Amino acid sequence: MHATPLRVVIADDELPLREELRLLPWASYAASLVGEACNGQEALSLCRELQPDVLITDITMPVMDGMTLIRELRAHCPAVRIILLTCHSDFRYVQDALRLGAVAYILKVALDDGELVEALGKAREAIAADQHSRRSIRSEQRARLAGLLAKLLQRQTPGDREWQAVGLAEEERYRLVQLYRIAEAAAVQASRPAIELRLAQDESDERQWAFIGEQGIYLLLRDGPEQETWLAQALPALLSDMHRLLLSTQLSETATVPQSYPSVLPQLQALTHQASQPTDITASTDRLGALQPSVYAVVSEPLVVRDALGDALLAADRWRDQLFYADLSDIGLRYGASAPIRQLDESGVQQLQEPLRWASGSAERLCRCLAEDFADRCRELRPDPGQLKQRMMVWLVDWLRQQDAVAEPDGLRLDAMIDAQTLSQLICRLTDAIRTWDQGQYRYRLEVRQAFVYIRDHLQAPLTLQLIAEQVGLSPHHLSRLFREETGSTVGETITRLRMEKAVELLSQTNMKVYEVAERIGIPSYRYFTQLFRKWTGLAPTDYKRQP
């Protein structure tokens, strides 16, 4: 791997020496000459403007001498590495310069390729060490900031030491930026290292970021004109890069979907409007309703961190539920402007599911109803996404049971409903299950249907293959082979599926205790039931029941 060229500025009041330095083969030293100055004041201005990696400077110069220049650079451009050009008579200053941070010195009379290459090598080593140190410090700051933000999200109060450890000034005003990634969980996880590297490119003393969990990315920006420019110009580029990284790691890719970036900043909306185009949600899903990745930014108003950061975090985090209902082609969202998320009571459930009851006689009509009337009612009522997904999961299980669906539609898992990140994705997964059943893949021989109905109606009993085979008039071996060939599942797997579906129904719609549910579905072992339920739904029964 080739080293990144060092950007070099030279400063000397002797024109012949500058001309000699200018003609050196800088590229062969893995460096490039980006500027030259004839005195210390001019060199300081150049360094402030160009932010070079290395300054090669004389000590004795008019207007501002080399020693004063070094002190000014330490104050205003501390990242610049300094190499001294010195005469024998200047040698008394060299020790002072080295103490101030100069990395090397070269005698003018001994200037040659070897001396310069060695000095540039020392500068490169110092830069690398400084970068490593900064990365370590940044990593520690990110960890501390993540811990502090996590506490605030849990409505806990950090102590003074925790505030001081993250380096946030007590009276300074900051903006909070939360970045949302809507994508498949595997893509979010796989893209994280690359996204961390991309975020690091924009990190500075004015900008700190932190991950919390798998989804949350938070940035704190010190308020000021520079950060307003960053929000208007650099943030859209950051979002675009994050979108590409997510897209490249999405497990079920289809056609590239243009990204959109809802934000509270009008200038950000205007800048991204030209690059954003309407997205056909139905065309951007795979068979399981896997939406193509999208990235969103939510930006707070300036705030004093200790006074308002906790409230701003909670407000920004509520956007996750609000974005569940967002149209991915809509970039006009404003911070706090969305309708409130509502708790889903029985009246709301009836209101949402009323059109589905009228359409349930036809799979195609039902799918159309889900995509139209049901979706419209959801966006109007805006129920809590977690409650909505749980209710619709139970509804789907009931509907399939009413159709005598012997086997679970290919790829359907209850946790797929829970994992849906948008309303459109949830509807896609529901309609996928319905259409799969309707394609006729699961219409079976009479004995298989009879076995299924017997299992469904006797879940509380100790079911065995021998018992079920006797009920349908086949040998256990014949039933086992026939059942698997026609449904793709074993008799045992079907018993487990129906028991778990019944458990979901009982936990959602009754006040039964967990052990009572386990007994009702024929699993008297509480521990085994808990393990099985967690594997099936992704939640322990007690956690599932506690959901609002």
pLDDT tens, 280-313? 322 233 334 455 677 778 887 888 877 788 888 8
Please enumerate in sequence order all residues whose Cβ is within 8 A of that of 474, keeping only pairs 6 or more positions apart, or say none. 447, 482
Q: pLDDT at position 91, please?
A: 62
Helix (H, G, I), strand (E, B) or coil at 353: helix
Give CA–CA dist 201/182, Å, rounded: 22
Q: Higher model confidence: residue 70 or residue 330?
A: 70
Buried b (16+ CB within 10 A) or exposed e, 485-512: ebbebebeebbbbbbbbbbbbbbeeeee
Please enumerate in sequence order all residues whose Cβ is within 8 A of that of 272, keeping only pairs 6 or more positions apart, or say none. 236, 239, 260, 261, 263, 331
- Find which of 85-89, 219-223, 350-354 is predicted with most confidence, using mean pLDDT: 350-354
Please enumerate in sequence order all residues whose Cβ is within 8 A of that of 457, keeping only pairs 6 or more positions apart, or say none. none
The answer to whether residue 512 scores a pLDDT higher than 50 is: yes
Q: pLDDT at position 284, please?
A: 33
Q: What is the mean pLDDT of residues 363-373?
A: 89
pLDDT tier at 274 (50, 70, 90 boundaries)?
very low
The answer to whether residue 268 scores a pLDDT higher than 60 is: no
Closest C-alpha among 292, 194, 192 to residue 251: 292
Q: Which two tokens stand for residue 459?
A: 């879940």
Q: pLDDT at position 289, please?
A: 46
Give CA–CA dist 71/97, Å, rounded: 9
The answer to whether residue 530 scores a pLDDT higher than 80 is: yes
pLDDT tier at 413 (50, 70, 90 boundaries)?
low
pLDDT tier at 267 (50, 70, 90 boundaries)?
very low
pLDDT tier at 492 (50, 70, 90 boundaries)?
very high
The model's pTM is: 0.56
Report phi then psi at 492, rounded to 5: -65, -40
Strands 54-58 and 6-11 come out as: parallel
- Output the average pLDDT for the chain: 79
Q: Higher model confidence: residue 112 or residue 3?
A: 112
Within 10 A of 311 (CB to CB), how many other CB atoms are there?
Answer: 12
CATH of domain 6-131: 3.40.50.2300
- pLDDT tens readout for residues 135-149: 888 888 888 888 888
Q: pLDDT at position 469, please?
A: 92
Dihedral, CA of residue 435, residue 436, residue 438 and residue 442, to nearest 10? -170
Closest C-alpha among 207, 173, 395 to residue 301: 173
- The beta strand positions in 118-262, using DSSP E, are 173-182, 207-212, 216-222
Give CA–CA dist 38/51, Å, rounded: 18
Cα 111 to Cα 27, 37, 324, 508, distances in angstroms: 18, 19, 66, 82
Q: Which of 190-199, 209-218, 455-464 has the lowest mean pLDDT?
A: 209-218
- pLDDT tens readout for residues 78-128: 889 989 888 755 666 666 667 777 888 788 777 788 888 888 999 999 989
- pLDDT tens readout for residues 9-37: 999 999 988 998 898 999 999 999 999 99
Instruction: Report the sign of the C-alpha dihedral through residues 524, 530, 531, 536, in that order.
Output: positive
- pLDDT tens readout for residues 166-207: 877 777 788 888 887 777 777 777 888 888 888 887 777 677
Chain centroid to CA 287:
23
The answer to whether residue 247 scores a pLDDT higher than 50 is: yes
The answer to whether residue 327 scores a pLDDT higher than 90 is: no
Q: What is the mean pLDDT of residues 474-500?
A: 90
Q: What is the mean pLDDT of residues 381-389?
A: 90
End-to-end CA gap in the chain: 55
The answer to whether residue 263 scores a pLDDT higher than 50 is: no
Q: Which of 216-220, 324-328, 464-468 has the lowest mean pLDDT?
A: 324-328
Give CA–CA dist 178/390, Å, rounded: 27
Q: Which two tokens stand for residue 30?
A: 């893995």
Give CA–CA dist 384/452, Å, rounded: 35
Q: Which two tokens stand for residue 218?
A: 């938070």
Give me the DSSP letters along 184-238: -HHHHHHHHHHHHHHHHHT-BTTEEEEEETTTEEEEEEE-SHHHHHIIIIIHHHH
Q: For domain 444-546, say whether CATH 2.60.120.260 is its number.
A: no
Percent of the chain with pLDDT strictly greater than 70 = 83
Region of 244 please: left (phi>0), alpha (psi -120 to 50) or beta.
alpha
Q: Which of 324-333, 433-442, 501-510 has the lowest mean pLDDT?
A: 324-333
Strands 104-107 and 81-86 come out as: parallel
Instruction: Give the H/E segment covering residue 106.
Output: strand 104-107
The answer to whether residue 332 scores a pLDDT higher than 50 is: no
pLDDT tier at 54 (50, 70, 90 boundaries)?
very high
The answer to whether residue 255 scores a pLDDT higher than 50 is: no
